[in-house]
Structures are given as C-alpha cells and as structure tokens.
Amino acid sequence: MFTKILIANRGEIACRVASTAHRLGVKSVAVYSEADANAKHVAVCDESVAIGPAPAKESYLRADKIIEVAKATGAQAIHPGYGFLSENEDFAEACAKAGIAFIGPPASAIRAMGSKSAAKALMEKANVPLVPGYHGDNQDADFLREQADKIGYPVLLKASAGGGGKGMRIVEKSEDFKAALESCKREAINSFGDDKVLVEKYLTRPRHIEIQVFADTQGNCVYLFERDCSVQRRHQKVLEEAPAPGMTEERRRAMGEAAVAAAKAVGYVGAGTVEFIANQDGSFYFMEMNTRLQVEHPVTEMITGLDLVEWQLRVAFGEPLPKKQEELTIHGHALEARIYAENPEKGFLPSIGTLRHLHTPPAVNFELGQGSVAGNPAAIRIDSGVREGDAISPFYDPMIAKLIVWGNDREEALAHMSQALAEYQVVGLATNVAFLKRLVESRPFSQADLDTGLIERNHDELFPTPQPASLQILGLAAASLLSSEQTAGAAANDPWANTSGWRMNGALLRTLEFGEEGSTYPVSVSYRENGWTLGLNGASSVMTLVERQGQHLVIKVDGTAVRGTVVRAADVFHVFTGGAHYVLNYNDPLAHAGESEAEGGRLTAPMPGKIVALLVEKGKTVEKGAPLLIMEAMKMEHTIAAPANGTVEDLLYAVGDQVAEGAQLLAFKAA
C-alpha cells in the first residue's frame, strides 16, 4: 500500500479521502488556495501546501503545481477527488510521466469517455441502446438547429465535455434554439474549456439510474449495483438513493452487465459510474460514463458496507479487487441529501456567507470496509468540508454537507432522513434544508413516483405559500429576547439595570415588533410575576420560560410546552422548532433610531460574479421581463431582467468585469 498520497481537491471529498487514508495508515497531503488557508481539509490532512490564489484556474486546476507539490512532499500517488482535474486526461498522463500513480483510470479511458459524443459512438458500436440524437463534430449553429428540428422538440443541448449539470439546456421550440445554444456553449467553454455540444431527444418523464463499476489492472470488473439520482434541479442531483426503487433483479443484472461491458470496452481501471436514462416502462439508454468517484458514492457504501476509496487506493497500488461479483450483496436502503448554501424559493440561487451557527444530527459511528452496516438501523453519516465559523465563498461549489442515512428498508430510511433534516440547523446563509425535508416527506418521493421532472411537476406542494408565524414561534423569539435582557440586567448588579419588569402600582407593558418578509407582528408583552402575557391580533396567551440552556429553550404557552432553539444574529432571530426554521427580524427602536430607508429599485448583482453577456445597449427601450445582461456566479449563469417597462440609461460594467454582491449593474429608468 502507498505510504503517502496527495489529495488534489478541497472540501468534503478531500476530507473523505483523508479519512480512509488515515484509517489505512497512509499519510495525506492537502493542497489549498488562498481562500482555503483555514479550511477543514487542510486541518485533517497530515501535511498541507499552498498552491495559488482563490480562483480554481490559478490553484486547484494547476496540474503542474500539484505535481510539483507531490514530488516535493514524497507523495507516491495523487487522488483527484471529483471535479477539478479528476477527469483530465492530460493530468493523468502528466502524473504517469512524473512517476506518480494517478488514483483513477488510465488517460486512454478518460479520453474515450470524456467526450459525450465519442462515448456515445463507442457505445453504439457495442450495441448499447442510445437516446436519439446528434453526437457528431459539426458544430455549425444552423446545422445543429436542423438536427434538432429533425429529432423533434423538446431537445436537450448538452456540453460534450460536461458534467454536473453544467452546459445543459432544454429547448422547447425551434425559435428558442439559437439563444439556448449560445448560452450552452458559453457556459461549456467557461466550465470545461470546450464548447462542443450534442443534441438529444429530451425524454419527458425519465429516471436517472447509474451503475457503480469497479475494475482492477488484472482484468477484473464488477458492478456494485445501482443508484437512483432522478430527483434533480437544473440537471443537478438533489437526492440520491440505493438501491433504485422498483428495480427488478433481471433489470439490475442487465444494466450492471451493460455497465461492465462499457468499462471493459475502454480498458477501465478504478471507480467509475455508467449513467443511464430509464423510461418508466423499464427500458434504458446509455447517457454517459463518469470516470471518477461520484458525489453520491456514500449510498453505495452504505448498502454494501464497502469503502470505495479504500478500493481505489488498493487498485491504484496494483492489488486485485477485494471481492468478486458473486460476493457482493445489498443490505437495506440508503439515502443521500445534498445540503447546499442556496435559496430554493429564489430559484435555488446560491448563497454565500459565514456559518454562524451549525448544529447537525448526531452521526452514528460505524466502520466502512467491514462488509455490512446491517444491525445498525439508525446509521447517520455526515460528509462535510466545513465547520461552524467557516465561510462559503463565491469561488467554489456551495455545498455544505452530504447527509446520508441507512435503514432496513426504504420506509425506514425515509423516516431517518426526515428526522435528521429536522435536526440540521444553519444560520449565516440561506440553505435548502427545509426544502429537502418537504421533498423527502412529499407524496411523490415517499411513494417513489420518480423522474427528473419531479420538482417542477410538484412545484406547488414543494413550495407552499408561507404561513404567518404562530404565537408559539413568536413566543420562542420573545422568550429568548426577554430572558437575555433579564440575564444581562442581573449580571450588571445595578438596580437601574434591572429588567424584571417590576412595577409598584401595575404591570410593565411594552411592544416587541417582529417581522418576516411581507408581514409584521407587533407582540404586546405584559410582565407577570413568573412570566409574561403575550398579545397578538387581539388574542392573548400566558407564557412562562420553563428551561433555557444556551440557545435551547422550553416555554409553555397557555400550559402547552414548546421546545426550540433560538439563535440571534444582530437583530435577526432564527427560530428552529418542530423541524422548521423561521427567520424573524426584530425592530429595535433604539438600535435603529435615525436610520433612513435603504435605497431600493436598483438592478443589482445578487452575489459576487462576472459579467458574461450584455443583451442591451445604452439608451435601449425595453419591456418588463426583457433580459438585460447575464452574469456568472457560483458556476451558474443568472439573467438580470427588466423590472418594468423602461429605458436602459447606462451600462455600468463590461463583459468580463468582476462585480461585488449588491453592485448596481446598470442605470434603468421606468416608463
């Protein structure tokens, strides 16, 4: 076995690889950018070396620097993780030339499967069923549009060198093709350095099912069953599970054998994933092969009890696969939820900020590599590359963690996931935790009515109309505020600082004004000997504080116990209770005296990013909703549209300019 490896990645996957290396007694070397100097993956590795500025092109994508560090530190092998250089054939070849083992497939396999077009041509020769489409080299826009017209709409445009949902567009009609193609190519060149695209028939209710394969240098290849990754947003996976619901043994074997054949056809070595699009009737088509470890590999580990990173290290070292196909079995059911810093209610717009408060469900300790997690029906695993106090920056993927649960069956796993999400608390930036909980508990997902359009098709159920904060929610916020005032007053040991509310001839009355988007709640408070009377909208309730331990409170409202956690960040109260997260703004009249309203109505950047296209000229008259410019942030494109009919008076930035969050992008005058 290797004695030292370098991990050419960051975040949770770097921490994940380091964990297995540590268990096997293998030293690990971390590389990091200036933005990641204090990152978790730097702390958990045995050594760490800085490799450049924050932008990935100047650090994590610098193959030459990474190989230099490997040589300097005596690392015998490089694990690329996923993303960055993991599927870069030139990097794999450079490692080989430097005498460093690449913990992944040979460059020839990456090359064969790295181009979606070439891979489909290869699969066509091997008689693997393909979705109707054009996968050739002719990239003329008019020609591609003609091909799309022949295939029939809707069609899917897909970056040939792509992955992770980048460079993909669904085109519903011919007249939209040109704009979609330009956007797709622009995103493809920025993400992969290659703007070649392919055109395919877009299936309306497909499932996304992938097969985990593993091959060694001695000609052995196995499949470690399937994962269902159908639940997606913007072509990126949200929830993954294994095994796939409704999978028959015959279909599993057919897909597994097809995946093994695909791997053998390119002389594959190591961990790989063959992805299929599957119709509801059970028919399936080859989509692509990812020549690396997948983000969702933990669900495979949970149902097999195997450590896939350990397998990667052993295969790269030249050892044979630890198990044969007939020795592999499925135990129970596993689910993975990707917890992101993003705002689902605003189109899943990525969020950046500092994790001011991070509370997770308790992870259950279990050892991978032992063959099974059976007998531990409450197994909860959290793969994360951040800690409380860390920042989610605009430079990299906004993932906070992967939450993985295991159960004896799917129903049990769903229950564990729902409970685990209810206990996951984040303050400091927007997250998709509440959305994930609604998704897991939704009728279509719980009943395994799966396809890639599940989220869009069930939009109203998954994005319900926000309900006004209840008196119990407001009571938790009020109790947190009032008890904090009392604690501060007592600590001051000054009678004039006493905040118990005592009055000689009557009760102290005051109003606490809380608010959330679109609503204001003036809560009247009357101090009592052992609590308070709260009033809202003409109704009143008696509230007492039963217990407080830090941010955790138990109150009684009219005799009914209410438990929750309240985290205060300046004048914002985050209330966690019953598996829900409420954000209440507190209007402190003393703190805000003299402040004026912020200027509104400007067209501003939703986050730091880069201007990639200007769609209007100065002086142009536009209608409400017209696209004005496109900016790229957090690896995605965002279109800024006209808020009303009006005139573009000035363009404040040019294509290629970097802009800060909140920066005014253009001057606009409404008609």
The 8 Å CB, 24+ separation contacts for 544-553 are 545/479, 545/482, 545/483, 548/479, 548/483, 551/357, 551/480, 553/476, 553/479, 553/480, 553/483
The CA R_g of the chain, rounded to the nearest whole Å, is 27
Is position 310 within any domain?
A: yes
Identify the helix (H) or strand (E) that includes residue 444: helix 443-446
**Chain centroid, CA 546 distance in Å:** 38
Cα(24)–Cα(34) distance, integer angstroms: 30
Is the pLDDT assigned to residue 172 strictly greater than 90?
yes
Cα(532)–Cα(479) distance, integer angstroms: 9
Helix (H, G, I), strand (E, B) or coil at 330: coil
**Single-letter residue type at 278:** A
Q: Are residues 304 and 261 in the same domain?
A: yes
Is the pLDDT assigned to residue 91 strictly greater than 90?
yes
pLDDT tens sequence across 252-306 = 999 999 999 999 989 999 999 999 999 888 889 898 899 999 999 999 999 999 9
pTM: 0.81
Q: Using alpha carbons only, what angle is made at residue 468 by residues 465 and 473, rounded to the nearest 5 degrees?
A: 125
Q: Are residues 493 and 365 in the same domain?
A: no
Query: The domain spanning residue 333 has which CATH number?
Result: 3.30.470.20
Which of 412, 437, 461 is a domain's end point?
Answer: 461
Q: Are residues 568 and 613 in the same domain?
A: no
Is position 245 within any domain?
A: yes
Which of 440, 461, 482 is a domain's end point?
Answer: 461
Identify the helix (H) or strand (E) that includes residue 237: strand 236-237
Helical spans, DSSP H, in 171-287 = 177-192, 249-265
Is the pLDDT assigned to residue 507 strictly greater than 80?
no
> 610-632 burial, b for 16+ CB within 10 Å, e for fewer?
bbbbbbbeeeeebeeeeebbbbb
Please choose, from the candidates 575, 548, 554, the residue with its C-alpha nearest in 3D space to the C-alpha of residue 485: 548
Cα(374)–Cα(622) distance, integer angstroms: 62
Q: Which of 182-191, 324-333, 503-512, 587-596 has the highest mean pLDDT?
A: 324-333
Query: The domain spanning residue 141 has which CATH number?
Result: 3.30.1490.20
Is position 593 within any domain?
A: no
Identify the helix (H) or strand (E) that includes residue 543: strand 539-549
Range of the domain at 620: 603-670
pLDDT for residue 490: 64
The neighbour count for residue 524, using CB atoms within 10 Å, is 14
Is the pLDDT assigned to residue 599 strictly greater than 50?
no
Which of 461, 490, 518 is a domain's end point?
Answer: 461
Q: Are residues 329 and 419 in the same domain?
A: yes
Angle between helices 89-97 and 107-114 (to 10 degrees): 170
pLDDT band at 501 (very low <50, low <70, confident <90, very high): low
Mean of pLDDT values over 338-349? 92
For residues 544 and 558, is the Cβ–Cβ distance under 8 A? no
pLDDT tens sequence across 609-629 = 889 999 999 999 999 888 899
Q: Are residues 211 and 349 in the same domain?
A: yes
What are the tokens at 173?
A: 């009609």
Q: Using alpha carbons only, what angle is made at residue 387 by residues 383 and 389, rounded to the nearest 5 degrees?
A: 160
For residues 116 and 162, is the Cβ–Cβ distance under 8 A? yes
What letter does residue 553 receive in the DSSP assignment? E
Q: Are residues 511 and 624 in the same domain?
A: no
Burial (CB count <10 Å: 0-12, 13-18, 19+), residue 446? middle
Q: Are residues 516 and 371 in the same domain?
A: no
What letter does residue 235 receive in the DSSP assignment? T
Q: Are residues 338 and 388 in the same domain?
A: yes
Query: The domain spanning residue 636 has which CATH number?
Result: 2.40.50.100
Instruction: Report the greatest alpha carbon distance in the chain.
Output: 93
**Single-letter residue type at 64:** D
Cα(614)–Cα(520) distance, integer angstroms: 39
292 is a catalytic site residue: yes
State the SS3 of 164-187.
Answer: CCCCEEEECCHHHHHHHHHHHHHH
Is position 122 within any domain?
A: no
Residue 474: CB partners within 8 Å, gap ≥ 6?
Answer: 514, 521, 523, 534, 536, 584
What are the tokens at 160?
A: 């040939």
Is the pLDDT assigned to residue 331 strictly greater than 80?
yes
pLDDT band at 126 (very low <50, low <70, confident <90, very high): confident
Q: Are strands 552-557 and 270-278 parallel, antiparallel or unpaired?
A: unpaired
Active-site residue, selected from the candidate residues 292, 314, 438, 568? 292
Is position 477 within any domain?
A: yes
Is position 381 within any domain?
A: yes
Q: Are residues 297 and 228 in the same domain?
A: yes
Is the pLDDT assigned to residue 375 strictly greater than 50?
no
pLDDT band at 394 (very low <50, low <70, confident <90, very high): confident
Q: Are residues 657 and 575 in the same domain?
A: no
Q: Are residues 386 and 448 in the same domain?
A: yes
Please state, rounded to an integer, the average pLDDT across all residues of the chain.
90
Is position 607 within any domain?
A: yes
Helix (H, G, I), strand (E, B) or coil at 581: strand
Residue 452: CB partners within 8 Å, gap ≥ 6?
Answer: 205, 206, 207, 208, 230, 231, 232, 235
Mean of pLDDT values over 582-586? 95
What are phi and psi for residue 5, nearest 5 degrees?
Answer: -125, 155
Q: Are residues 348 and 496 in the same domain?
A: no
Percent of the chain with pLDDT over 70: 92
Is the pLDDT assigned to residue 13 strictly greater than 90?
yes
Domain count for the chain? 5
Residue 97: CB partners within 8 Å, gap ≥ 6?
Answer: none
Please choose, from the candidates 360, 435, 430, the residue with its C-alpha nearest in 3D space to the C-alpha of residue 401: 360
Token pair 């060694």 in the structure block, residue = 216
Is position 562 within any domain?
A: yes
For residues 300 and 224, is the Cβ–Cβ distance under 8 A? yes
